[in-house]
Amino acid sequence: MEKKKKIIDIEINKEYCKACLFCIDSCPKQCLIMGTELNSTGFTSPVFVNQGNCTGCAICSLLCPDMAIQVFEILN
């Protein structure tokens, strides 16, 4: 039987993000791209795309120097 694929949601704290691009660069499934909206200190922040490809590996969250990324598994 096929293992049920996890459905992941990612929340990015736009105010904490400093647009270092580590998450975008590290994501093995290209689920993050840079957004265009500026925060109060002039940084843009990533946007979660390709949700279907995300495996919830949380590399983006762990390697974020500003701890701005939360990764959730959507249940049922």
Which segment (29-37, 45-53, 63-71) binds another protein by CB under 8 A?
63-71
DSSP 2: P
Which segment (7-15, 29-37, 44-52) binds another protein by CB under 8 A?
7-15
64 binds another protein (CB under 8 A): yes
Secondary-structure percent of the chain, ordered helix, strand, coil, rounded to 5: 15, 25, 60
Kindly state the tokens that stand for 11.
């929340």
Residue 54 backbone dihedrals phi, psi, to 5 degrees:
-70, 130
Question: Which residues lie near another protein (CB under 8 A)?
Answer: 8-9, 11, 15-16, 18-22, 25-26, 43, 56-59, 61-67, 69-76
